[in-house]
Amino acid sequence: MAGRAKARPGGILIGALAVLVAALVLSWAYAALWPRRDRVARGANGRLIRVQVLNGSREGGIGTRVAAYLREGGFQVVEVGNADRADFVASMVVARRPDPTAARVVARYLGDPPVIHQAWSLDEAEVTVVIGSDRSRLHVE
């Protein structure tokens, strides 16, 4: 009987604390690293934010890449195309509704390009992203 170890209450308590700490670390990692599509892509009215992406740079395919990145974030991309010119110097986010909240959400997701307010109530999109030659400033990864 001398070779048999006794279960100590302190050892059980330390084991329980270790499990609790591990659960807290996993919970933090889930909250910090898991995609937040529903929280990111919703406007003030609770609907998905509809976005139009226009390539105003001379780089082909950048509009498609930005649109894919926005879709990954949970935004509803309704159109991808070329802007009326290909010499935009700066990228910008254009608010198409009287309330620019949706445009600010999109801008924050893309790395905070400037937000311009140009409300047109007939547009299908609430927000237009115009990609300029500074496209590398956009966080599209």
pLDDT by residue (tens digit) across 56-66? 998 999 999 99
Q: For position 20, what pLDDT does the model report?
A: 92
Q: For residues 93 and 112, what is the distance between their CA atoms, to the nearest angstrom?
A: 9
* Residue found under tokens 């889930």: 30
3-state SS class at 13 = helix
What's the mean pLDDT in 37-50? 68
**pLDDT above 70 coverage of the chain, percent:** 82
Q: For position 83, what pLDDT does the model report?
A: 95
Q: How confident is the model at residue 7 (pLDDT cuts 50, 70, 90)?
A: low
Read off the pLDDT of residues 73-120 as tens digits, 9 standing for 90 and up. 999 999 999 999 999 999 999 999 888 999 999 999 999 999 999 977
CATH of 37-137, one of 3.90.550.10, 3.40.50.2300, 3.40.190.10, 3.30.70.2390: 3.30.70.2390
Region of 42 (left: φ > 0; alpha: ψ -120 to 50; beta: rest) is beta
What's the mean pLDDT in 118-133? 86
- Which residue intervals of the chain are DSSP H helices? 9-33, 37-40, 62-72, 101-110
**The pTM of the whole model exceeds 0.85:** no
